[in-house]
Structure 1
């Protein structure tokens, strides 16, 4: 073996180690990002009630976090509940039940916002902003994802609308003003 051979072998090993160190660091960073994404996906699933992995992934890729999705999920409930200008106890209970079923708990910021909306009707700008957001989001989701999100959000809103409907269970379950809000919500999805 020539004197330079040992040096080259040693340098080659150092080069390999450096390469694999950098590669391991890159893989470790990728693993951390994947773990963070999975945690974010779990938070989105908890917040939204959506279990479809593809939809959750699409929402993450659109930089929609759990708090944004919380607002997205709560606005239809609140708007339907306040449609006639006041909130009765059955509607309030239906909103809280839907929020709880979606993973909202006391102590969370989104829950506190919800409670404030249950005591004071939000300004019309809230619904306008929600409609604009949904229209923009519509073009970013696949047809299946779009349908699933629509069904999830509008289904909960309809439950709130039906909560206090009719006198002694008779008559229309959804008032005209609630139906108008449901129509606005539905039209936002196109």
Structure 2
């Protein structure tokens, strides 16, 4: 893949601004793949939301600790997320927003920090998918339904260390 297909951090920040995501909110786009995973089976179930809430608390605390001051507030982070929980967001918008996570949040100079965040997001995606099923009883391979499995692999690919293609940005 050529560098022409890779979106820069500056281009991603400019695109996020068009979506109304600016300032400290850029630290909240980590939640996008988690929200996407939460909705993958078509339902935002209480167990999935509880996993996301726990991640929000830890994420806000971690960002503030790294910054050495209060950059994020838990309530504002939850408000950010709640706008995606009241009704299922467009999968296309979520995919577009997810495309900005890597250039904005996984492009730090310290690759070890990038890897920790990547792993944290992927682990939490699995926790969300496994926290609730839509039908009981379920078969051995049905804890994650096919839509969740597909969503997880799409998220995995977009957060991978290989460079994804530039996300499409609606005008």
TM surpasses 0.5? yes
- TM-score bracket for the superposition, by shorter chain length: 0.5 to 0.7
Gaps of 5+ in 1: 1-62
Aligned pair 1:68/2:26, yes or no? yes
Q: Which protein is richer in helix relative to its size?
A: 1
Relative contact order (C-alpha < 8 Å, sep 6+): which is higher? 2
Partner of residue 148, structure 2? 178
Count of residue pairs brought into register by the alignment: 128
Which one has a bigger Cα radius of gyration? 1
Partner of residue 103, structure 1? 60
Query: Quick one: structure 1 residues 182 and 141, their matched pair in 2 at CA, closer, same or farther if it must change by over 3 Å?
Result: farther
Length-normalised TM-score, structure 2: 0.60
Aligned pair 1:188/2:158, yes or no? yes
Q: Contact between 2:29 and 2:97, CA under 8 Å: does it hold in 1?
A: no
Q: Contact between 1:162 and 1:174, CA under 8 Å: does it hold in 2?
A: yes
Aligned partner (choices 148, 152, 155) of residue 116 of structure 2: 148
Q: Contact between 2:32 and 2:97, CA under 8 Å: does it hold in 1?
A: no
Q: Contact between 2:34 and 2:52, CA under 8 Å: does it hold in 1?
A: yes
Gaps of 5+ in 2: 1-12, 14-21, 62-71, 161-171
Q: CA deviation at 1:141?
A: 4.2
Q: CA deviation at 1:145?
A: 3.1
Q: CA deviation at 1:131?
A: 1.8
Aligned pair 1:130/2:98, yes or no? yes
Cα deviation per residue 1:73-126 (whole Å; 9 max; x = unaligned)?
A: x11111001002221222222222222333389873221121222211122213
Q: Contact between 1:134 and 1:188, CA under 8 Å: does it hold in 2?
A: yes
Distance (Å, rounded) in 2 between the aligned partners of 1:70 and 1:142: 19
- Please tell me the root mean square deviation across aligned C-alpha atoms, in Å: 3.3
Aligned pair 1:167/2:136, yes or no? yes
- Runs ≥4 residues deviating over 4 A: 63-66, 104-107, 135-142
Length-normalised TM-score, structure 1: 0.55
